Every structure is written in structure tokens, then in C-alpha cells.
Amino acid sequence: MKGLKQRIDKVKPQFEKGGRFSKLHSVFDGFYTFLFTPNETSRSGVHIHDSNDSKRTMITVVLALLPCCLFGMWNIGYQHALATGDIDHSFFHLFFYGFWAVLPQIVTAYVVGLGIEFIVAQLRGHEIQEGFLVSGILIPMICPVDTPCWMLAVAVAFSVIFAKEVFGGTGYNFLNVALVTRAFLFFAYPSQMSGDKVFVNLGDMPAADAFTGATPLGQMASSGTSEAIMTGVNGLPLSFHDIFFGFYPGSWGETSTFCILIGLAILLSTGMASWKIITSGIVGAFLMALLAHNFASPLYPVTYIDPLTQLCLGGFAFAIVFMATDPVTACRTNTGKYIYGFLIGALAILIRCYNTGYPEGAMLAVLLMNCFAPLIDYCVVNSNINRRLKRAVAKS
């Protein structure tokens, strides 16, 4: 690695101002900072100097996502085996089945997203930021595994351009880029994002081109009865054990609450996520689920799901840990974080329970509160100012 750095340093002047390839400085700098830790620090305008930078932050989040990512790949193969009735396969066979199923989506997301960011940075003459390192893996994980790559490419391009770059790029977007991609797909191509098709056939297992079967939340929302039971792709009832560990169909990266908790431990131990948002989000979701469960109605069958199961089902846990805590789009004030998280949790369960056409409310809840985060911070700051002003007047 040291020899590689020496070789790259020799050609570095060619990409600096006045060099032969100076117009490609942003592209070169992006690759250089990705491979090696920059040895430059801010000289003015900062309050604290430390070794942390956006690259370290993003890589830490990616590491926290790995348990969910790896389990999701295995679960794709496992769900396919359950549906076909041919479960006599090794762990690695099931894992690589899922790996090859999602690899095109991951490559598509990164190629399109990073490609646009490279082009925009080059046109503006700015440094290429590492923000899409996280978004690029989040996007495939929250989408159905059978989402066509061309469709994903269109959605990624839309979200990167209109939800990020037009506002100034990394650190300036007020909406979560991954969730904007998911929302674009949901509203532009609702038939593909219904969650009915849970995996595809790659040819090494006997099955049709895709297996059709509603996700557990979809089953409950469309049942129209309080007697409905959530079942897996093999028709057997799902236990809380199955739901907690993620042995059921859905968006492949967000089914396992157990793996999400591992990622949560990594984020909290490294200080990359706000425990205030996560804690208040869980409290808000639990209280709303408890309220809905106590007033359950056959008109809204999802209300019959108990609060603890509500927290583990669907994309709520994944959203509250990995997307609600995005420091760019979340509240900045401590009090605001509590309010922000609580409302996300409450709204997610509210939408899930009482909108039978859309039984997963985490996406809309986070995006809605992204819009209100600046207002919440503004109200909190002004409340503090007014309180201190009254205190100062009283003392004088």
C-alpha cells in the first residue's frame, strides 16, 4: 500500500492547478481520499480538531449495516427454498443465491449515484464527498429484491439530483436520499413496490420466475378480519421468534430486528447515532401501537398485532436506527431530537394501522419529519431564548 501511495503521489501534481489534468482534479481527489486518509486539516473556522471525518463516519455506518446486509442475502435464498419445498441446501448455497440476486441492484445504485456525484463535483470544481457510500447500500436493502435495475437507476438518479445535488450536495439535503428513492419507486411504480413478489428464481432451484405472496403486514392489512394469522411463504404461521430474527419475506435488508440491534450497538458505541432519537422513536411507536391495539377494529386488522410485534415487523426498526438518525436530515437540538424521534415512531405505526392501502408507514413518517425537523429546532431554540430572556428580565 505504501508503494501504491508513492506512485500516486508522483502523478498527483498533474491533477493540481496548472497541471496537465487539472480539470480532473475532483475525480482524482475523490479516488485519492477514498484510498488514503487525507493529511490535511482545517486551518480556520472550526472549534474542535480531531481525527474523525466524513469518510470514517460513512464507513462506520456501512460496517453497522453489514449484519443486516449479510443476513438479508441468506434470507433471500432461505425464503426461496421454503417456497419451493426444497430446503436441503447448505448455508453458503443459500447465501450466494441471495448474493447474486442483489448484486446487480447494489452495483446499479453505486454506479448511478456515484457517477452523478462525480459529474456534479467535477462541474462545480468541488471535492467529491463520501455521503453516497451509505445511501448506495441502503437503497437496495429497502427495496424488493425483484426491482428491475433500470427502474432502480431512474429512482437513484432522481433522488440524487433533486433531493441532494440541487440543494448543494452532501450535508445540505433536507430529505433522506435513500427514502426519497424508495418513495419515488413506490409512487411511480406501485405494482413493482407492493411487496407481493419477494424473491426471484436464478435458475439453480426449481421455481417459477418469481414467487407471489404478501408480506406479513400485507397479509394483515388485506385480511379484513381480526382472525387473520401472519404466515410465511410455506403457509405456516409466523412465530415471534421468526419475526424477531427476520425469517420472513420483505425488503431484504430490513427484516431482522436481531441484526438491526447489532448495528445499533456499533452506532451507539462509536457515537454515530443519536440514542435520543432512537429511544423516543421506540417509545412513540410502542405507545401508538398499544393505543391502537386497545381499540382494535376489524376495519383495521393491523391494530390486532401486539405492540412488541409491531416494533419488530416491517421496516420500522431499520428506519428508526439507520435513517431517522441521519445527522443531516434530523433535528440538531437535544429537545428537538426527542420530539422528532417520538413523532416518527407514532406516525409510522399510525400510518401502518389505519392506512390499509399502505401497511408500512416508516418511510412516510421519516420523510415527513425530515421536512419538519428545521421547524422543530427553530421552535426549541426560540423557546430557550424566550425563557432565558424572561429570566434575565426578572433578575434585572
User: Are 74 and 92 within 8 A, CB to CB?
Assistant: no
In a domain, 1, yes or no: no
Tell me the average pLDDT across 282-294. Answer: 96
Same domain, 257 and 281: no
Same domain, 314 and 348: yes
pLDDT at 131: 73
Query: Tens of pLDDT along 243-253?
Result: 999 999 888 99
Same domain, 161 and 284: no
pLDDT for 33 beyond 70: no
Same domain, 267 and 294: no
In a domain, 221, yes or no: no
pTM of the shown model: 0.86
pLDDT for 137 beyond 70: yes
Q: End of a domain among 204, 237, 272? A: 272
Number of C-beta neighbours around residue 308 at 10 A: 14
* Residue 167 DSSP code: G
Name beta bridge partners: 200: 210
Distance of CA 151 to the CA centre of its chain: 18
Number of C-beta neighbours around residue 210 at 10 A: 17
pLDDT for 54 beyond 90: no
Same domain, 356 and 312: yes
In a domain, 3, yes or no: no
* Banded model confidence at residue 40, pLDDT cuts 50, 70, 90: low
Give the contacts of 278 (CB within 8 A, at least 6 positions apart): 264, 320, 321, 324, 325, 341
User: Are 251 and 186 within 8 A, CB to CB?
Assistant: no
Query: Tens of pLDDT along 165-192?
Result: 888 887 888 999 999 999 999 888 887 7
Same domain, 268 and 334: no
How many domains is the chain partitioned into structurally?
A: 2
Give the contacts of 292 (CB within 8 A, at least 6 positions apart): 300, 302, 303, 349, 350, 353, 354
Helix (H) or strand (E) holding 136: helix 132-141
Query: Tens of pLDDT along 182-218?
Result: 999 988 888 776 544 445 455 555 444 445 557 888 8
In a domain, 312, yes or no: yes
In a domain, 226, yes or no: no
Tell me the average pLDDT across 109-114. Answer: 93
Report how far residue 258's alpha carbon sits from residue 293's, in angstroms, rounded to the nearest whole number. Answer: 24
pLDDT at 196: 44
Report how far residue 289's alpha carbon sits from residue 349's, in angstroms, rounded to the nearest whole number. Answer: 6
pLDDT at 310: 94
- Mean confidence (pLDDT) of the chain: 84
Signed CA dihedral, 209, 220, 144, 267: sign only: negative
Same domain, 326 and 383: yes
Same domain, 256 and 315: no
In a domain, 218, yes or no: no
In a domain, 44, yes or no: no
Tell me the average pLDDT across 347-373. Answer: 90
Same domain, 282 and 264: no
Same domain, 289 and 364: yes
Same domain, 208 and 284: no
pLDDT at 151: 94
Same domain, 255 and 379: no
**132-141 helix and 177-188 helix, angle to the nearest 10 degrees:** 40
Residue that wins the pLDDT comparison between 152 and 224? 152
* Banded model confidence at residue 98, pLDDT cuts 50, 70, 90: very high
Report how far residue 306's alpha carbon sits from residue 29's, in angstroms, rounded to the nearest whole number. Answer: 52
Range of the domain at 152: 24-35+56-213+249-272
